[in-house]
A and B are shown apart, each in its own frame.
Chain A
């Protein structure tokens, strides 16, 4: 068999990357010139509303570290949409694993729930995220405290797996909050990991009382953590927290209260709240490539705002027809003033768009 790299070398003068990807797909392969497509190889239910997908990527698989997430893209009703999911597989494993919760209004999670059966194909972007052992400077003898709320368990589960697989010697404690006992993920996997004497799990159900001896109840609080992680806190462990924005804010407060500065946290919030009233609002725009940011009014077209800030942007007709100023958008929503519709997509025509959330533009 020729390696994909050799095949590409031979084909390079004859066909474009687009041709290559097209014919690979027509022939039933997920191979691609540079994009990473992956096939669902298996799927399992984790809890009442969560499920795990094991994905086998083509040869363009992204390099990643435990604790990072990837953008997963799929075509939903004609549009290619992307969402970030934490990887729970180990970087050395062949397949990528993600666990996700089916959100009632979640376009992607519902699509995946309905369509991501073995054989289905999705696209994988590169990995990103700062909540890694390398960034935290964790060594194998450090004590680690993990605080997970809801789907916040996924990156932390990935980190715990990696630590134990890497022969971590320090104590590892996981405090895991979710609504009810039926919502907890990775039941069997965590039980298996608990075979390691240095690792223990404490589950806390926020909506119900004590349902079994292994489950606590109540929302996150300093007192609760003081009790549940009593034996660990004096050693000032590294704390990793992941959950909704509220949870992470609380975790940070708790950590501060403990005189703890070694906190690494990530929050996921549902979609950016969109305010579309007539009052003027100011939003922060981050220009990813030029590494600058500026504040813009919701009443100004982005092109004007950028130019007023002295940022040169290629532009043309300034009325939304020529597409010259169209700019790749990494995050955020804009209002398309020519249609009055919100644009949550990956490109923005700056001359006819106003910010409706903080934005990250590829400029």
Chain B
């Protein structure tokens, strides 16, 4: 388990102030290099999409290229969803004033709407990170990943439901804000539900028609070649995003918190909670880009509005700061972190008891938590 120290109020304030200072320094420094970077990413997204789709048509005469086309299209979608869409929707590039890269309007290549994401992810998940009952990313209303979540027999089939969620991850994200659980239990009205379905249905129709009707139709009698290629591309994207996102908050040392912890929460405490609830992945430059820099989940949660290309550099500073304040910095390789996630999925499908929550703060200096 974690070997993080409980911080005194003074330490916590200093810790928060140090992180605030980093954030302010970075935001004051954004400029041409960040703009050039995100435009290059956009270019890579567009060209790889074009290449992937083109290869699927060329595969009509050269079948071995089919797999290559599907993989490239999948990677293109990953790049668009992660490094472009996700970061742009956080408003990281709003200062560019480019309507194409505006966090408020950006619409991504996934069945979920940008608007739903801005609510469930930007607001709920980033403000109430890993707070049970507030952050619906904790199990996506489907999984029990922490012993703090109440066990029900339904969770016994969790290995299957988790695998289904992985395969259909874009649909999980799409319906997250419909809050089906609340609709069934009557906590959310039919009218509210219908109002939520309408924009989603429009987006779903656009996405499905594009990938599964219009592009395949362009191939004429080889409809299925393109149809299946698009299906595989979306599947690749679903599996990858699922893996990266689950590694960000559901590793062995990631913590979940009760609602009560929010009472009079200070800036420093908020930072500390982001740190305790997030985990990083080690990897090369390309790996970081394809994860949308969510491999630097800790830095992303500390500084969600700072352009993500800066996280790698900031991680050194954040890590040193964590050492200074005796905080565990949760980082590991993808296989190591993801196997911890898989263990959580299996372990907590069965009843499990939470360890008592150790306070993040203390009145006495230097007490280990």
Question: Which residues of A come within 8 Å of B, CB atoms?
Answer: 13-14, 16, 18-19, 21-23, 26, 35, 73, 75, 77-82, 316-317, 319-324, 326, 328, 336, 338-341, 345-347, 349
Contacts and interface: CB of A to CB of B under 8 A. Distances in A.
B154 interface: no
B23 A323 contact: no
Contact of A323 (B32, B46, B107, B305): B305
Interface in B178-215: 209-210, 214-215
A321 B127 contact: yes
Given A321-B304, A338-B27, A345 B97 contact: yes
Contact of B209 (A13, A19, A317, A323): A13
A81 B305 CA distance: 21
A320 B96 contact: no
Interface string B87-122: 001110011111110111001000000000011001
Interface stretch (B34-42, B246-254, B285-293): B34-42
B159 interface: no
A141 to B, nearest CB: 45
A78 B32 contact: yes
Given A14-B214, A80-B98, A345-B95, A323 B118 contact: yes
Contacts of A13: 209-210, 214
Contacts of B91: 323, 326, 347, 349
Given A13-B209, A14-B215, A338-B27, A322 B96 contact: no
A347 B27 contact: no
A347 B209 contact: no
Nearest to B267: A319
B123 A324 contact: yes
Nearest to B26: A339
Contacts of A22: 42, 46
Contacts of A341: 27-28
B31 interface: yes
Contacts of B352: none
10 contacts: A78-B35, A316-B122, A316-B127, A319-B267, A320-B305, A321-B305, A322-B122, A322-B127, A323-B122, A347-B94
Contacts of B107: 16
B24 interface: yes
Contacts of B304: 321-322
A79 B214 contact: no
B126 interface: yes
Interface in B37-59: 42, 46
Most chain B Cβ neighbours within 10 Å, of A13, A82, A322: A322
B348 to A, nearest CB: 29
Interface of B is mostly: helix
- A-B pairs, top 4 by smallest CB distance, nearest first, are A78-B35, A316-B123, A323-B91, A78-B32
Given A81-B97, A316-B127, A340-B24, 19 more contacts: A26-B46, A73-B97, A78-B35, A79-B31, A80-B96, A316-B119, A316-B123, A317-B126, A321-B305, A322-B126, A323-B89, A323-B94, A324-B118, A326-B91, A326-B94, A336-B27, A339-B28, A347-B91, A347-B102
Contacts of B28: 339, 341
Contacts of B127: 316-317, 319, 321-322
A347 B105 CA distance: 12
A324 B117 CA distance: 11
A340 B46 CA distance: 36
Contacts of A320: 305
Contacts of A75: 35, 96, 98
A347 B97 contact: yes
Nearest to A35: B99
Contacts of B94: 323, 326, 345, 347
Contact of B103 (A80, A319, A323, A340): A323
Contacts of B100: 18, 21
Given A22-B46, A323-B104, A326-B94, A78 B305 contact: no
B31 A323 contact: no
A23 B90 contact: no
Contacts of B104: 323, 326, 328, 347
Contact of A326 (B24, B97, B103, B209): B103
Nearest to A348: B94
Contacts of B118: 322-324
Contacts of B98: 75, 80
A347 B91 CA distance: 10
A216 B369 CA distance: 84
Contact of B31 (A77, A317, A319, A321): A77
Nearest to B50: A23
B119 A324 contact: yes
A18 to B, nearest CB: 5
B172 to A, nearest CB: 21
A346 B104 CA distance: 12
B123 A322 contact: yes
A62 B162 CA distance: 52
B214 to A, nearest CB: 5
A312 to B, nearest CB: 16
A341 to B, nearest CB: 6
Contacts of B31: 77-79
A14 B218 CA distance: 10
Contacts of A35: 99
Contacts of A23: 46
A158 to B, nearest CB: 27
B206 to A, nearest CB: 8
Most chain A Cβ neighbours within 10 Å, of B34, B97, B209: B97
A330 B33 CA distance: 26
Given A339-B27, A347-B104, A324 B122 contact: yes
A319 B27 CA distance: 15
Nearest to B98: A80
A344 to B, nearest CB: 10
